[in-house]
Amino acid sequence: MTRLLVVPMVGLTAACSGLTDAAVDLTRCIGNGARALSQSLQTASEIVCPVRAHRSVTAILTPRSGLPSDSAMAALRQMGVPEEALYYSGPDVPSRGTLVGLGPVNVYDGHYMDNRKYSTSSAFGADVRIRSLMAKTGDQFTVLLSREAGGVVEVVGLR
């Protein structure tokens, strides 16, 4: 049986939303959902992670950190990830700059005009894994979690 958890990503007031990192918010939401799943009798759950200020952002979850391979780039494009999320762009670099390095949780927020539009985090702990490359654009994300053998929680889907 799958259980739906709503885990707010709001840690500060909306007035301070420009001072925080969307990838950290999403990572915290996934981590809270993983802890809740590991402490329950359930083997799977869905958590809802809203984006602060209901802004549309692009989230990329990946099992491997570093520069994406050619096949990963092709897969991300097929998932609808905008080019601006894959190549640095902004006032300090040309419109199509260098490839963005990816960590486990990445969020691209095109509302910013500087490098704050790219954020990466990996702080949800060693007992959480991302099963495969996944990406989604929206103002809220539903993250599908599964508890695996040994107590490890895997992120198995992003909607």
Task: Report the 10 Å Cβ neighbour count for 77.
Answer: 13
Express each pLDDT in 92-140 by its tens digit. Answer: 555 567 888 898 999 999 888 777 788 888 777 778 999 999 999 999 9
DSSP state, residue 75 = H
Residue 127: what pLDDT?
84
Query: How much is the mean pLDDT over the chain?
Result: 83
Alpha helices by DSSP H, the chain? 22-38, 70-78, 83-86
